[in-house]
């Protein structure tokens, strides 16, 4: 054959056209494949701008056939070249655009060049399969010659070449660090041979999926490394593509799994753990081997043993369970994609709100359904009972004691385990609140586990770590009755098999919708840079101050200490205090111990604020808030609708996330939503309906007010600034108040309620006060003339009374706490006894009419009130110590004085 004839014959073949048999196989097996929602859109956008080249991990005829099926299904650019399978693969078993009629196949470099230059798409496999006896660790070199050819072409053309990393997943099993005999003969899970790949396909084709990483713009990459040789650039490109593909696989399958034995061995070999084992042995007079056995037992009780099989069956069960009791799960899809982007970069720390035991399951279910590996979840040891414990452990739970007090080795093991998880790339989920919120409001954050994560991130600076605030909201919670019992002073029931079996009664009720919303992802690198800047600024101020006093520049004020809560100090453990004996050990990642504590607190409060801001306004919460806004015994249906509309308008102006079931497209209230929420409350026996003529009247049963308040509290954080201003405005019943007086009153109230409500941490009091005042002015509720603030007349002015009324139960609870302080004049008492007697006193005050709102009789309101009384010097107590009278109280007259200061707000 003449040279010119060969040149003519060397045109790339047309796209693959399957025979009838293969077309049937396509439809039968490939139509089940789950496709990344962005897969089609991303390729279409890339094809408009340039030429598309698909990239896959390892040579596989199966992967090619599946890709070919999907490209035809979605009308995407078809493959005209594929490496190492032979061009004949483009027409197996049947017809093609044409057949290559020359015996000697042209070089693949030439073939891909002609394919791309003619504007067609190609497919490049980056690695070959392991040969017999290989474990998959002996990676073959990527086809750099093909990529180099693409680089050469890209340098000559203006139109970009887009490399599309495509990941087919035929199994849900993560790769194993330890290879077995099966891996030797059939290839490992992540690099399967033909036989293993075939069985993966047969058993999992209905769950198979394809994921797409972000398109790789070759032109832009070359511009970044323009001076380098084509071969060097090709190697860089191959490495970058492999990393993208591996990251995408790990998002779905999780990191490489290690056996429990290997994980335990690595933890016990950790230098820090070894150091503390030796110190513990020396301090207690035991042998090192004996202390090692103790440490090994701690790891056994602590560590998760997550398996894909249990996760899959959990998913099937939860699919049935959630659809049985809930009317649907509303998921923030944009938030899911933000998390996926963060997971591509490194470890993700999930920080959800905690209102129900269902929280442990919801996030894992949602992530799994969106093709992301569920995180490992920190759970209390109270949930490790049989049979739930072993199942939860294999689902991803690791069990931690509620308190590390008196432990020296335990916190070190937990700290090492958390650091190991981050290093290996696991997602971690834990609840900043520590325990479930019984009130519907977020609890104050606990800093223990967060401190460990921050320290681990500082030690692993090369590892990207991101924090994700998550709001999990319910229209109705399943623990409703138990929460009311506990808040009324009853004992918390211990979790056990009996309670598990009794919980099946929830299957006979409906609980509305469940909402999962994600806040903005917080990069630890950004948080670290901010902390470093603050530390440097503080050091500069101290240095300047020291120069002015003539003291050494590095001197610290005597007795200086971080203002961090006790939890932050306790989280480092007694063992860490021994390590921090000199300045070098005090520094970690360039931050002092004081700066690290401040960083932990800042992260915790930002996460808390972000959770509040993304909490969905549900129909149940809106209706409950409207019912509580009414002061009379019953509320007409028309009045309820009007109040719902008013509150909804205020929430929309604040940018709150509104459930789609609440408002129509034009923003108007869906009245049927009110009926749905009312039916939900009627089913739970939280309210009563009275038919008086044509219009129904709804009332809250006194003994059920505490339960219904839970749903009102889901939204109260949106109204707290307005409520504080409104309560201060209504003192004395005057129409106007001076701005200076109003500011002082609101500032005092914010201090009183600082343990009750979460305030913004990125703004000062003055900024928050001015914003609240301006919001009320724009709403038309107040007028500001000079230095006077006046409540307007009419509907908007009436909202001031509504806002102030939102705090009425809290004022009454704090009054009760003040009265109960007098009980300590006789003798100190433990917390349990004080709460019991305080609630008994509250019951008498309620019956006599001194307390109007039954929901004020709540232990959860008395706890923050007690902390406030301690700040004012009315009581004294430390963690675990009895409560005694404070130094500011000499007799009952002192208590009456504080009660007189609270009284004006009681009449608002």
120-145, pLDDT tens digit by residue? 999 999 887 655 555 444 455 667 88
578-to-142, 268, 562, 586 alpha-carbon distances in Å: 50, 20, 18, 11
- pLDDT at residue number 581: 39
User: What average pLDDT is seen over the chain?
Assistant: 83
For residues 802 and 398, give the distance between their C-alpha atoms in angstroms, rounded to a whole number: 45
- pLDDT at residue number 501: 40
Least confident residue range of 574-583, 657-666, 699-708: 574-583
**pLDDT per residue as tens digits for the range 804-830:** 999 999 999 999 999 999 999 988 999
CB neighbours (10 Å) of residue 208? Answer: 20
DSSP 581: T
Beta carbons within 8 Å of 596's beta carbon, 6+ residues apart: 451, 454, 455, 458, 531, 588
Whether the predicted pLDDT of 908 surpasses 70: no
Crossing angle between the packed helical segments 739-752 and 716-729, to the nearest 10 degrees: 130
Q: φ and ψ at 624, to 5 degrees?
A: -60, -45
Q: φ and ψ at 145, to 5 degrees?
A: -65, -40
Question: Which pTM was predicted?
Answer: 0.85
For residues 881 and 884, give the distance between their C-alpha atoms in angstroms, rounded to a whole number: 9
Name 161's bridge partners.
Answer: 51
Whether the predicted pLDDT of 885 surpasses 80: yes
Least confident residue range of 28-37, 385-394, 731-740, 790-799: 28-37
Whether the predicted pLDDT of 551 surpasses 60: no
**pLDDT per residue as tens digits for the range 443-474:** 889 998 999 999 999 999 889 999 999 999 99
- pLDDT at residue number 500: 42
Whether the predicted pLDDT of 570 surpasses 60: no
Residue that is written with structure tokens 């003339």 in the block:
785
CB neighbours (10 Å) of residue 459? Answer: 14
- pLDDT at residue number 4: 36
For residues 856 and 858, give the distance between their C-alpha atoms in angstroms, rounded to a whole number: 6
Average pLDDT over residues 248-271: 90
DSSP 780: T
Residue that is written with structure tokens 């593509």 in the block:
241
Average pLDDT over residues 395-406: 86
- pLDDT at residue number 104: 41
For residues 188 and 182, give the distance between their C-alpha atoms in angstroms, rounded to a whole number: 8
- pLDDT at residue number 171: 79
Coil/strand/helix, residue 210? strand
- pLDDT at residue number 560: 33
Least confident residue range of 155-159, 383-387, 523-527, 899-903: 383-387
- pLDDT at residue number 505: 53
**pLDDT per residue as tens digits for the range 493-505:** 555 444 444 454 5
What percentage of the chain exceeds 70 in pLDDT? 85
Structure tokens at 752: 């009183």
Contact assessment for residue 346 and residue 393, using Cβ atoms and an 8 Å cutoff = no
Angle at 874 between CA 872 and CA 880, to 5 degrees: 100
806-to-406, 615, 648, 713, 732 alpha-carbon distances in Å: 42, 19, 16, 10, 18
Whether the predicted pLDDT of 488 surpasses 90: no
- Identify the residue with better confidence: 238 or 172: 238
CB neighbours (10 Å) of residue 578? Answer: 13
**pLDDT per residue as tens digits for the range 620-632:** 999 999 999 988 8
DSSP 444: P
Contact assessment for residue 396 and residue 376, using Cβ atoms and an 8 Å cutoff = yes
Give strand ranges (E) for 170-263.
209-212, 216-217
The band of 478, judged by pLDDT with boundaries at 50, 70 and 90, is confident
**Helical residues (DSSP H) of 254-270, grouped into ranges:** 260-268
Name 211's bridge partners.
Answer: 167
Contact assessment for residue 800 and residue 730, using Cβ atoms and an 8 Å cutoff = yes
Interior/surface letters 423-457, b for 16+ CB within 10 angstroms, e for the rest: bbbbbbbbbbbbebbbbbbbbbbbbbbbbbbbbbb
Whether the predicted pLDDT of 255 surpasses 80: yes
- pLDDT at residue number 360: 86
- pLDDT at residue number 719: 95
Element (H, E) at 356: none
What percentage of the chain exceeds 90 in pLDDT? 50
DSSP secondary structure of 24-91:
HHIIIIITT-EE-HHHHHHHHHHHHHSEEEEEEEE--HHHHHHHHHHHHHHTPPPEEEESSS-GGGGS
């Amino acid at each position: 054959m003449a040279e010119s004839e060969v040149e003519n014959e060397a045109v790339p073949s047309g796209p693959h056209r399957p025979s009838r048999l293969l077309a049937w196989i396509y439809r039968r097996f490939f139509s089940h494949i789950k496709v990344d929602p962005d897969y089609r859109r991303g390729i279409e956008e890339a094809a408009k701008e340039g030429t598309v080249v698909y990239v896959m991990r390892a040579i596989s005829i199966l992967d090619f056939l599946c890709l070919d099926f999907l490209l035809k299904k979605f009308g995407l650019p078809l493959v005209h070249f594929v490496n190492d399978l032979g061009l004949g693969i483009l027409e197996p078993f049947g017809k093609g655009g044409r057949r290559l009629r020359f015996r000697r196949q042209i070089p693949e470099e030439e073939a891909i060049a002609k394919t791309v230059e003619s504007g067609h798409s190609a497919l490049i496999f980056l690695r070959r399969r392991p040969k017999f006896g290989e474990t998959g660790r002996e990676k073959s070199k990527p086809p750099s010659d093909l990529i180099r050819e693409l680089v050469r072409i890209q340098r000559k053309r203006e139109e970009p070449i887009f490399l599309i990393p495509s990941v087919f997943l035929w199994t849900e099993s993560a790769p194993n660090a330890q290879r077995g005999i099966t891996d030797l003969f059939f290839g490992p899970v992540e690099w399967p041979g033909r036989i293993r790949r075939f069985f993966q396909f047969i058993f999992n084709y209905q769950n198979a999926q394809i994921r797409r990483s972000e398109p790789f713009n070759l032109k832009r990459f070359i511009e970044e490394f323009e001076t380098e040789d084509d071969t060097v650039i090709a190697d860089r490109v191959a490495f970058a593509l492999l990393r993208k593909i591996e990251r995408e696989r790990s998002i779905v399958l999780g990191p490489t799994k290690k056996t429990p034995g290997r994980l335990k061995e690595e933890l016990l070999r950790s230098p820090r753990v070894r150091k503390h084992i030796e110190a513990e042995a020396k301090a207690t007079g035991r042998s090192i081997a004996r202390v090692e056995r103790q440490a090994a037992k701690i790891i056994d009780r602590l560590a998760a043993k997550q398996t894909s099989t249990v996760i899959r069956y959990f998913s099937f069960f939860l699919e049935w369970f959630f659809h049985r009791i809930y009317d649907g799960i509303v998921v923030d899809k944009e938030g899911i994609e933000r998390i996926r982007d963060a997971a591509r970069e490194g470890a993700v720390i999930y920080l959800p709100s905690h209102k129900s035991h269902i929280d442990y399951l919801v996030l894992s279910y949602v992530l799994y359904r969106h093709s992301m590996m569920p995180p490992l979840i920190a759970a209390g040891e109270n949930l490790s009972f049989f049979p739930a414990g072993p199942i939860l452990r294999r689902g991803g739970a690791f069990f931690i004691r509620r308190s590390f007090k008196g432990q020296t080795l335990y916190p070190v093991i937990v700290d090492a385990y958390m650091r190991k998880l981050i290093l290996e790339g696991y997602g971690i989920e834990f609840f900043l609140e520590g325990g479930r919120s019984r009130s519907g409001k977020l609890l104050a954050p606990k800093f223990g586990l967060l401190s460990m994560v921050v320290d681990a991130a500082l030690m692993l600076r090369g590892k990207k770590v991101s924090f994700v605030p998550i709001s999990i909201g319910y229209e109705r919670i399943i623990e409703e009755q138990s929460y009311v019992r506990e808040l009324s002073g009853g004992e918390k029931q211990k979790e056990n098999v009996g309670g598990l079996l009794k919980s099946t009664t929830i299957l006979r009720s409906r609980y509305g919708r469940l909402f999962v919303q994600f806040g903005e992802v917080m990069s630890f690198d950004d948080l670290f840079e901010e902390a470093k800047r603050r530390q440097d600024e503080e050091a500069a101020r101290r240095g300047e101050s020291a120069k002015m006093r003539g003291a050494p520049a590095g001197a610290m004020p005597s007795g200086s200490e971080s203002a961090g809560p006790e939890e932050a100090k306790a989280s480092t453990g007694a063992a860490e205090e021994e390590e921090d004996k000199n300045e070098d050990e005090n520094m970690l990642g360039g931050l002092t111990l004081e700066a690290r504590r401040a960083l932990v607190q800042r992260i915790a409060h930002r996460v808390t604020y972000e959770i509040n801001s993304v909490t969905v306004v549900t129909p149940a919460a809106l209706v409950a808030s409207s019912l509580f806004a009414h002061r009379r015994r019953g509320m007409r249906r028309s009045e309820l609708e009007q109040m719902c509309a008013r509150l909804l308008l205020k929430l929309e102006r604040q940018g709150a996330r509104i459930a789609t079931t609440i408002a129509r497209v034009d923003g108007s209230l869906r009245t049927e939503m009110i009926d749905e929420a009312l039916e939900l409350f009627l089913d739970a026996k939280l309210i009563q309906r009275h038919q008086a003529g044509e219009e129904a009247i709804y009332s809250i049963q006194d003994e059920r007010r505490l339960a219904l308040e839970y749903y009102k509290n889901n939204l109260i954080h949106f109204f707290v600034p307005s409520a504080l201003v409104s309560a201060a405005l209504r003192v004395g019943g005057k129409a106007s108040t001076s701005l200076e007086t109003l500011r002082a009153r609101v500032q005092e109230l914010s201090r009183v309620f600082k343990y009750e409500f979460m305030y913004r941490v990125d703004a000062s009091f003055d900024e928050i006060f001015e914003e609240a005042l301006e919001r009320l002015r724009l709403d038309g509720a107040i007028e500001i003339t000079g230095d006077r603030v006046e409540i307007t007349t009419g509907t908007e002015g009436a909202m001031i009374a509504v806002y102030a009324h939102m705090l009425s139960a809290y004022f009454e609870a704090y009054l009760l706490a003040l009265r109960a302080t007098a009980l300590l004049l006789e003798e100190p008492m433990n917390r349990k006894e004080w709460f019991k007697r305080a609630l008994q006193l509250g019951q008498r005050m309620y019956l006599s009419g001194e307390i109007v709102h039954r929901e004020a009789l709540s232990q959860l309101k008395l706890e923050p009130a007690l902390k406030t009384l301690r700040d004012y010097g009315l009581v004294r107590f430390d963690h675990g110590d009895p409560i005694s009278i404070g130094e500011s109280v000499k007799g009952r007259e002192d208590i009456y004085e504080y009660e007189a200061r609270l009284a004006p707000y009681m009449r608002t």
